[in-house]
Structure 1
Amino acid sequence: MINLNGQLIEQTDALSVYNRGFAYGDAVFETCKFVTGKLLFWEDHYFRLMASMRIMRMEIPMNFTMEALEEAIHNTLAENKLLAGVARVKLTVFRGEGGLYKPTSKNIGYVITTEPLDNAFYLLNDTHYEVDLFKDFYVAPGLLSTLKTNNKAINVIASVYAEENKLENVLLVNTEKKVVEACNGNLFLVKGTVIKTPPLADGCLKGIMRMQLLELVKQLPDYTLEESSISPFELQKADELFITNVITGIQPISRYRKKAFKNDVAKMLLQKLQVKIRLAS
């Protein structure tokens, strides 16, 4: 079952082919992790969604409160018998049907989908995880690139490229030839006592887990945080590279080309993240 504008329906009855999210990518979305009764970082997800809708010039309905959307998510999880478990929740918001590139409706709709996940906790995956650069297409730096919209062609093509080349992931590059992020998360680089991540101005996603990590790193007395551009040349000089998103948490990169990496800082930050989540519960 999915939740379409507050109504629980079968997936097969879901959306029209004229839905603007499908036809024009006129949609934004949030992917959340639900763990036994709690949506992790829900407030951060909600405020990012509201900011994304404003940037997309969508009129925010009066009933799009944090409480109302959270209730709709809980109803969907309950219908799918996932309230007592762990799940991935995707909330997609789209503009109402009508028009071509220029919309003719100011109505806003949403759909909520859920699927079960295996792990309630963020676990360190220290298995082989190899990446390379993806340079067939480039990310355009700017505000739109920081949003989670349905316009994710580069991420899709890059993911197919990674699979074709027997890679676990690839790193996206912007038009200025700076490394921006991975296909499915933000990138962090560790060199000595410096922990670095690309700035939003370079076009990386304004990730929720990125926000959590920035807060954690700022509290580390032995490390310095930098939000600054990363060149491809820095990757092979790094001590560690890791990817972050709200579903996986922190994914260490074990190899980039001929360089193998440690995961000590990733492991330490993952432990601190678990403590932060427990204290917030």
Structure 2
Amino acid sequence: MKNFNGTIQENEQFISAENRGLNYGDALFETMKYASGKLLFWEDHYFRLMASMRIMRMEIPMNFTMEFLEDEILKTLEANALKDDTARIKLLVYREEGGYYTPESNDVGFVISTNKLENTEYHLNTGHYEVDLFKDYYVSPSLLSTLKSNNKALHVVGSIYAKENGLNNCLILNTDKQIVEALNGNLFLVKDKTIKTPPLADGCLKGVMRQQILELGKSLEDFTIEEASISPFELQKADELFITNVITGIQPISQYRKKTFSSTIGEKLIINLNEKILA
């Protein structure tokens, strides 16, 4: 069952053919994890959504407080008998229908959906995980490219490319030919005593888990963590590569072309991450 503007719907056929998220990608979403009776990193998700709505010039309803949206999420979990489990939550906010490219209104509606997850804690998957570059299309870096919006055509086509070529994932580049991120998360590179991830100015998603890792990385003794551009030439010189998102946590990359990688820092960070969420 889905939560459609505050009403739990058993019939999922409630989206109009005129919905602007469907027609123009005029929608934003947050993918969240619910575990141990709480929404993980909820404050970060909420403020990212509010900032994104302002960038998209969506009208933020007066009742769109942290408390209101959290209550609606919990109501949806309860309706799906997931309040005592671990779950994946998607909160989709779309501009109300009307108009073509130019909307008739900036008012919004929302849909909340949930799916059960198996693991409360984050687990490091150290099995074979191979990536390559996806170079058919490039990200044009701007504030819009940092948003979690419905405009994900590049990521969809890139995911099909990865599947067709037997890859677990692909890394995408911006128009300056710098690494931006993976298809489903932010990228971190470890070389010697430096951990770095592409800066938002390069066009990467403003990931919630990315922010957690930036903070946790500061606690690693003798390591420096920084936001800096990553050239494709750096990948094969790296000691370690890993992808981050709020559902998986940290996904180590084991192979890029002929280079294989360790997962030492990823293992340390996942321990610190679990300590943080279970505190």
TM range (shorter): over 0.9
Q: 1:14, 1:240 → 2: CA distance? A: 45
1:253 aligned residue? 253
Contact 2:57–2:106 (CA<8 Å) still a contact in 1?
A: no
Q: 2:197, 2:107 → 1: CA distance? A: 37
Q: 2:251, 2:125 → 1: CA distance? A: 6
Q: Kindly provide the CA deviation profile for residues 103-129 of structure 1, in whole angstroms up to 9, marking residues without a partner as x.
A: 002321000010111111100100100
Contact 2:18–2:97 (CA<8 Å) still a contact in 1?
A: yes
3-state SS in 1 of match to 2:94: strand
Provide structure 1 residue ranges, at least 5 long, that are not aligned to the other structure: none
Distance apart, 1:11 and its partner CA: 4.4
2:117 aligned residue? 117
Opposite residue 65 of structure 2, the aligned amino acid is: T
3-state SS in 1 of match to 2:60: coil
Q: 1:36, 1:155 → 2: CA distance? A: 31
1:243 aligned residue? 243
Q: 1:243, 1:13 → 2: CA distance? A: 35
Distance apart, 1:37 and its partner CA: 1.4
3-state SS in 2 of match to 1:120: coil
TM-score by length of 1: 0.98
Q: 1:105, 1:232 → 2: CA distance? A: 43
Q: How does 1:56-75 map to 2 (within 5 A)?
A: 56-75=56-75
Percentage identity across paired residues of the two chains:
65
TM-score by length of 2: 0.99
Q: How does 1:136-151 map to 2 (within 5 A)?
A: 136-151=136-151
Q: 2:20, 2:85 → 1: CA distance? A: 33
3-state SS in 2 of match to 1:115: strand
Contact 1:36–1:83 (CA<8 Å) still a contact in 2?
A: no
1:182 aligned residue? 182
Contact 2:190–2:241 (CA<8 Å) still a contact in 1?
A: yes
Q: How does 1:135-214 map to 2 (within 5 A)?
A: 135-214=135-214
Greater CA drift, 217-226 or 233-242? 217-226
Distance apart, 1:193 and its partner CA: 0.2
Contact 2:2–2:12 (CA<8 Å) still a contact in 1?
A: no
Opposite residue 15 of structure 2, the aligned amino acid is: L
Q: 1:4, 1:104 → 2: CA distance? A: 21
Opposite residue 165 of structure 2, the aligned amino acid is: N
Distance apart, 1:278 and its partner CA: 1.7
Q: 1:163, 1:10 → 2: CA distance? A: 33
Which 4+ residue blocks in structure 1 deviate beyond 6 angstroms? Answer: none
Q: 1:211, 1:9 → 2: CA distance? A: 34
Q: Kindly provide the CA deviation profile for residues 69-126 of structure 1, in whole angstroms up to 9, marking residues without a partner as x.
A: 0000000000000001011000000111100000002321000010111111100100
Q: Kindly provide the CA deviation profile for residues 235-267 of structure 1, in whole angstroms up to 9, marking residues without a partner as x.
A: 000000000000000000000000000000000
Opposite residue 119 of structure 1, the aligned amino acid is: N
Opposite residue 121 of structure 1, the aligned amino acid is: E
Could you say what the CA RMSD is over the residues aligned between the two structures, in angstroms? 0.7
Q: 2:264, 2:171 → 1: CA distance? A: 21
Provide structure 2 residue ranges, at least 5 long, that are not aligned to the other structure: none
2:53 aligned residue? 53
1:129 aligned residue? 129
